[in-house]
């Protein structure tokens, strides 16, 4: 198979294994990459189902139904690959507060397993899906050198995983990138596990009241799923020489939850009751990305407009 990758050094087709590839981000990413690369999904289907990836399997994508905590299975499944994209994780912030031990086991031990597999199978490239949850509150765009002070076990687990990847990358000469994704949204997102937009849209479509955590003045940097896919593509093209480098993946613009709800209701042309519930202390108050480094080093710029993407959801 041959494809053109506009990278710095080479044009090549890759064999790529994607852990968590059946999830929301994974399905979009696999769909994009499988047009030019040989892609395998490695997933335990805890956040998805076989039905959700049938369209990908028909395209020739391979599927391994297994858990990243099953090291023997993971090790055998990774043989012969050029690149691992590690998406598999426990991603529910609130649930991580209730069950931190499970979050740590999957997100930290699971990442250690992926790292060991790369070393044993001589896989020279890895891209890790990290999160903006590693940061502390910031009303101004926060860059990759800013203080990391995660308030949730989820954020802490992602930060530990990042550090482990950086250490192993430098020690074993493996190219590695961690993408700190801000608030990802799009069609097909699982409202049970992920962010505000999916939950708000779900309630509006069912004419149910919208519930906002706290006073609604908290801000978020929402980035559309197609932009996130492009960020991964840019990371693949420019991974050469990166040794665990981290990059913010966001838009550089924030919106308050109150403003977001007003926008969604206006687009939907509906009047829905809005309720405020107790603020979740495991979530940061203010969040917005400084995206300068991703633009310079990866050539990535988010192009989708929030309102345009909300229209598609409604």
Query: Which amino acids are annotated catalytic?
Result: 154
Measure the CA–CA gap between 76 and 159, rounded to whole angstroms.
27
Would residue 38 be called left, alpha or beta, if left means φ above 0 and alpha means ψ between -120 and 50 degrees?
beta
Contact criterion met (CB below 8 Å) for 71 and 119: no
**Helix/strand/coil (H/E/C) assignment for every residue in 218-250:** CEECEEEHHHHHHHHHHHHHCCCCCEEEEEEEC
Measure the CA–CA gap between 137 and 142, rounded to whole angstroms.
9
Measure the CA–CA gap between 135 and 143, rounded to whole angstroms.
10
Q: What is the largest CA-CA distance in the chain?
A: 57
> Residue with structure tokens 């294994």?
17
Dihedral over Cα of 161, 163, 168, 174: its sign = positive
Query: Which letter does DSSP use for residue 295 in this model?
Result: I
> Residue with structure tokens 């917005």?
288
């Amino acid at each position: 198979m041959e494809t053109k990758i506009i990278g710095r050094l080479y044009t090549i087709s890759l064999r790529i294994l994607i852990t968590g590839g059946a999830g929301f981000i994974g399905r979009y990413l696999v769909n994009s990459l499988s047009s030019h690369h040989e892609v395998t999904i490695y997933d335990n289907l805890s956040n998805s189902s076989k039905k959700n990836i049938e369209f990908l399997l028909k395209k020739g994508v391979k599927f391994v139904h297994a858990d990243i905590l099953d090291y023997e299975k993971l090790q055998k499944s990774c043989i012969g690959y050029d690149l691992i994209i590690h998406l598999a994780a426990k991603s529910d912030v609130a649930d991580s507060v209730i069950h931190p031990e499970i979050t740590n086991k999957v997100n930290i031990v699971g990442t250690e397993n992926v790292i060991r597999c790369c070393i044993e199978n001589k896989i020279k490239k890895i891209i890790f899906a990290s999160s903006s949850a590693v940061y502390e509150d910031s009303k101004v765009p926060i860059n990759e050198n800013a203080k990391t002070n995660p308030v949730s076990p989820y954020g802490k687990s992602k930060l530990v995983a990042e550090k482990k990847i950086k250490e192993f990358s430098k020690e074993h000469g493996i190219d590695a990138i961690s993408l700190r994704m801000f608030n990802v949204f799009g069609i097909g997102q699982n409202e049970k596990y992920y962010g505000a937009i999916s939950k708000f849209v779900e309630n509006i479509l069912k004419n149910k009241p919208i519930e906002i955590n706290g006073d609604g003045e908290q801000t978020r940097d929402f980035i559309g799923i197609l932009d996130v896919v492009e960020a991964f593509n840019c990371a693949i093209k420019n991974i050469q020489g990166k040794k665990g480098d981290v990059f913010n993946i966001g838009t550089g613009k924030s919106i308050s939850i109150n403003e977001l709800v007003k926008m969604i209701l206006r687009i939907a042309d509906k009047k829905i009751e809005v309720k405020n519930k107790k603020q979740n202390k495991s979530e940061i108050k203010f969040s917005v990305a400084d995206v300068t480094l991703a633009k310079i080093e990866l050539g990535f710029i988010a192009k989708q407009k929030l309102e345009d993407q909300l229209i598609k959801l409604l």
